[in-house]
Amino acid sequence: MPLESIRRRFLAIMACGLLSLLPLAATAQGDANTLPLTPGVYPLNLARAGEPTVGYAISVPPNYSSSTPVPLVLALHFGVGGGSAAGAGGDVLDILVGPGLASLGAIIVAPDSVRGNWSTLENEKAVTALLDTVMARYAVDRKKIAVTGFSMGGSGAWHFAQKFPDIFSAAIPIAGRPPESAAGWKLPVLAIHSRDDQVVPFTPADTRIAELRKAGVNARMIALTGISHYETHRFQDALRQAAPWLQQVWK
């Protein structure tokens, strides 16, 4: 694994202390009926005929009941610098998205990318197949499906929200590069970005949010200071602030 990838994983893990231990779980091989219903966080795999297996982590919220539909959040992980993405979904779920959006009582699914960034056709197919599998198993309120992500995953959140507005109802990109154009944008979006980000500049996301607001879109920026790009855990509080906004969107 390249040194930069190792550095990013190390900093993220050390910044928030030891990761919560994921329970050992049976591997789900594509059959939605095998996915766990008991609350907890599970590392799993989705096998697809003729396609790469998708590793992912899924969080089932406390008091989940199949009789009551709950929100669903797709969480996209940061880049791994050309190294293996195995377990990266679980990392971003544990470090950032799980704590940040715990108040939603949502199912959170965090896939590992398949060879490259989230905007590739291969990753689009993998993510949509995973979402189909999750929605076939769990009681999901299909009007309450959001996408979020950090760094590469933040760019992925922008991408998926723009390309699949029929699936998602809102986006929360964190420290991610926005699309080149906001033309035709439909979904509510709340971006979280640090002015002191030394890897992904603040200005493009801020400019895009301003353009969307001018166009009448429900768009908001939470601008942070004093946080560098690699301090993933320090974006937790801002993500907690995003949860009430998302609940308002879903009313």
Judge whether residue 140 has pLDDT over 60: yes
d(Cα 82, Cα 61) in Å, to the nearest integer? 32
Residue type, 215: A
- Domain ranges in the chain? 3-249
Q: What is the pTM of this model?
A: 0.88
Q: Which fold has domain 3-249?
A: Rossmann fold (3.40.50)
Show the tokens assigned to 122.
């291969």
pLDDT over 50 at 11, yes or no: no
What pLDDT is stored for residue 236 in this prediction?
98
Q: Sort residue 82 into left (φ over 0), alpha (ψ -120 to 50) or beta.
A: left
Model confidence at 34, pLDDT cuts 50, 70, 90, reads: confident
Answer whether 127's CB lies under 8 Å from 167's CB. no
Residue 72 phi/psi, 5° resolution? Answer: -130, 135
What is the separation, in whole angstroms, between the first and last Cα of the chain? 44
pLDDT, mean of residues 193-215:
97
